[in-house]
Every structure is written in structure tokens, then in C-alpha cells.
């Protein structure tokens, strides 16, 4: 991508994905889901992967610790370097050290990730036993619960998941992820199932944990507002490719790629009134039916004849930015 080799900051790179190609087997035939994904996350940094359904943002996040079952997923090329070691070449034992140890995950539906028949304290203790066995004690469980802002942690440790609200369940998931002191937290739409007031609480918690522990966050979202609130850098995905990347503020204020620009223009904004929205025509392309040439060309207002045929590369434009459109201003 646009990181220059030999950059002193590159020693602090926690995660580096290089030209990742990933297929899904559909009826025995490989269908490309990720096409040449390259990105990096430095220690203490928040990178937002933004995209709509089917863009490949969740698949990218899951592949970091190889959480996708294979088959149907087939890693067809590239590298995923976690602290310099390629997870695509790791044994199951080595992967287990990365999962939880270096990389922690939280997901959209906390209720689906928690075991309904165990008390939440037990589930946090289980994570401690795996990663910090000598500290797998009630005191540490309660410390983690209060760290993520759960009131009356002594009582709450004895609750079952269904006795907690969605926001509290997500806090428990974060406590479980923190149990192993990960250096990178991958949060896949962590607030999408929550109300806005609870979403604000969880985002605030993530930011404070990041400050406290210098933890890096790879946040996957479809919400550009969240990107603006939380991200240092952003990578916009469309149809299995990164189409634009750069410092979050610049990407949102001066988008380079027509897709990013159209996405920003199509969103209603508070306090702007009721002018007609500028919609993007057509719909998001489905896996296996990504258009040739530039994948956004059938929906792009600025498309030219060559866009339908010529493949386009993600090219740096300076200042840490890159776009997959040769006609970006």
C-alpha cells in the first residue's frame, strides 16, 4: 500500500496484510471474495474498515487469526503478518497463541458469542485460564468487569448472559477479549445491534481502553459516523477490494474515490434539512458477480468507457492516502 519501507514507525506495525487473496468454494468452484487486500495496523492505532454488506470487510477481519473455516474459505495468496509472523503458515498450536494472545475479537451479536448456560464470571475466568492461568481468580474477573464499566461487578459476575442487556453483554465480551491482554482488538460491527445511546457508551469505552493500554483497534463498520468519531485511519472496501485509504479525517472531508464520495453524499445528516438525497443507483454487487474493470463502474456517475474494461490498481497519492480510481481529483 502506501507505507514506505524502512519507515521507523514500521517497527511498531502489529498487523500487516499483504496482497491477501481469499476464495470461497461455492459448489466446488472457487469464487474470489477478497482480491489483493493490503493494510497495516500500528500499535495503539485505530483503523476502520468501512464497507457495505458483501464488501469483504468482515472476512478480512476474521482471516487475521484464521477464524474462517477452510473449506469453504481458501487462502489463495498473500500474507497476514501478526507481529511479523505469517498466520497463513502457522500450525494450530501457534494460531492458538495468536488468537486471544495477540489478537482479541468482539462481534456484532454479543448474545450469540456468549455461552447461555454459564455465568458471565465463569466465561471470563475461562479466558483467563487459557491465557493467564496464574491470574484466573475471582478478583481478576471482578477487576475486568469493573474495567469495562459494569456496575456492581461482584453481583454481575454471577449473572447469566440473558439477564444482561445488549450493551452489558457487549461489555462482557470486551472483558473476555481483554482477559488475554491483546495488542490488537478486532471489533466487527460491535455497536450495530445496540441503540445509539448505548453505542455511544461502548465507543467511549473502546477509546478509553485504547488510551489506557495502548491497544490497537481494527474496527469494522458500515457507519461513516463511527469512523469519524473513532478512527485514526480508514480503509473503504467495495466488492472485495480496498478502494480508498488514508487518514480518517481526510478520507471523510475530501474523499478521493467516487464510491466514498457517493456514500457520503447519500447519507442523510442531522440538521441539514430535507433536500432530496443523492442516491447511488443499482445495488451492491454480490459475491461471484463482481463487475469487470473497476468494480464500481456500473454505479459510478463519473465512469468512462475504459472503466468497464481496464483493471484499476490502488495507487498512492501522497500524504498517506491511496485510491483505486485513476480519475480521482
* Positions in the binding site for other proteins (CB under 8 A): 52-53, 151, 165, 167-168, 195-201, 203-204, 222-229, 249, 252-253, 262-264, 266-274, 276-281, 283-284, 286, 299
CB of 249 to other proteins, least distance (A): 5
Of residues 77 and 291, the one with the C-beta less far from other proteins: 291
The C-alpha cell of 181 is what?
A: 491482554
Of residues 132 and 249, the one with the C-beta less far from other proteins: 249
The dihedral formed by the CA atoms of 236, 242, 244 and 247, expressed in degrees to the nearest 10: 70
Write phi, then psi, for 184 (nearest 5 degrees).
-130, 125
CB of 189 to other proteins, least distance (A): 13
CB of 116 to other proteins, least distance (A): 19
Nearest of 186, 195, 128, 187 to residue 168 by alpha carbon? 195
Of residues 29 and 281, the one with the C-beta less far from other proteins: 281
Within 8 A by CB and 6+ apart from 118, the residues are 126, 160
CB of 198 to other proteins, least distance (A): 7
The C-alpha cell of 102 is what?
A: 495477540
CB of 47 to other proteins, least distance (A): 17
Of residues 77 and 225, the one with the C-beta less far from other proteins: 225
Query: d(Cα 224, Cα 106) in Å, to the nearest integer?
Result: 19
Of residues 196 and 305, the one with the C-beta less far from other proteins: 196
Pairing of strands 46-50, 233-238: parallel
Nearest of 114, 120, 40, 134 to residue 322 by alpha carbon? 40
CB of 5 to other proteins, least distance (A): 31
H-run or E-run covering 112: helix 110-113
H-run or E-run covering 147: helix 138-147
Amino acid at each position: 500500500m502506501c507505507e514506505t519501507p524502512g519507515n521507523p514507525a514500521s517497527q511498531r506495525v502489529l498487523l500487516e496484510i499483504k496482497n491477501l487473496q481469499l476464495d470461497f468454494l461455492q459448489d466446488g468452484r472457487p469464487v474470489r471474495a477478497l482480491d489483493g487486500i493490503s493494510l497495516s495496523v500500528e500499535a495503539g492505532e485505530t483503523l476502520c474498515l468501512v464497507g457495505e454488506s458483501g464488501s469483504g470487510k468482515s472476512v478480512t477481519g476474521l482471516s487475521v487469526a484464521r477464524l474462517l473455516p477452510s473449506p469453504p474459505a481458501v487462502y489463495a495468496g498473500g500474507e497476514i503478518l501478526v507481529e511479523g509472523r505469517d498466520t497463513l503458515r502457522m500450525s494450530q498450536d501457534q494460531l492458538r497463541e495468536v488468537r486471544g494472545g495477540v489478537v482479541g475479537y468482539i462481534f456484532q451479536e454479543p448474545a450469540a458469542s456468549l455461552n447461555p448456560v454459564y455465568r458471565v464470571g465463569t466465561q471470563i475466568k475461562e479466558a483467563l485460564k487459557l491465557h493467564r492461568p496464574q491470574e484466573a481468580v475471582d478478583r481478576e474477573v471482578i477487576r475486568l468487569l469493573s474495567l469495562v464499566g459494569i456496575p456492581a461487578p461482584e453481583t454481575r459476575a454471577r449473572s447469566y448472559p440473558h439477564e444482561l442487556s445488549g450493551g452489558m453483554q457487549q461489555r462482557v465480551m470486551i472483558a473476555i477479549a481483554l482477559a488475554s491482554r491483546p495488542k490488537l482488538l478486532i471489533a466487527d460491527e460491535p455497536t450495530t445491534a445496540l441503540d445509539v445511546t448505548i453505542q455511544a457508551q461502548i465507543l467511549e469505552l473502546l477509546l478509553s481502553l485504547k488510551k489506557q493500554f495502548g491497544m490497537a483497534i481494527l474496527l469494522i463498520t458500515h457507519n461513516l459516523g463511527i469512523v469519524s468519531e473513532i478512527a485514526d485511519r480508514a480503509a473503504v472496501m467495495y466488492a472485495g477490494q480496498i478502494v480508498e485509504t488514508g487518514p480518517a479525517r481526510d478520507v471523510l472531508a475530501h474523499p478521493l474515490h467516487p464510491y466514498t464520495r457517493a456514500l457520503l453524499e447519500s447519507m442523510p445528516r442531522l440538521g441539514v434539512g430535507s433536500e432530496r438525497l443523492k442516491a447511488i443507483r443499482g445495488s451492491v454487487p454480490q459475491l461471484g458477480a463482481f463487475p469487470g474493470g473497476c468494480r464500481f463502474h456500473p454505479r459510478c456517475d463519473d465512469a468512462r468507457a475504459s472503466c468497464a474494461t481496464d483493471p484499476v490498481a490502488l495507487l498512492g497519492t501522497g500524504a498517506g492516502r491511496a485510491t483505486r480510481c485513476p480519475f480521482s481529483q
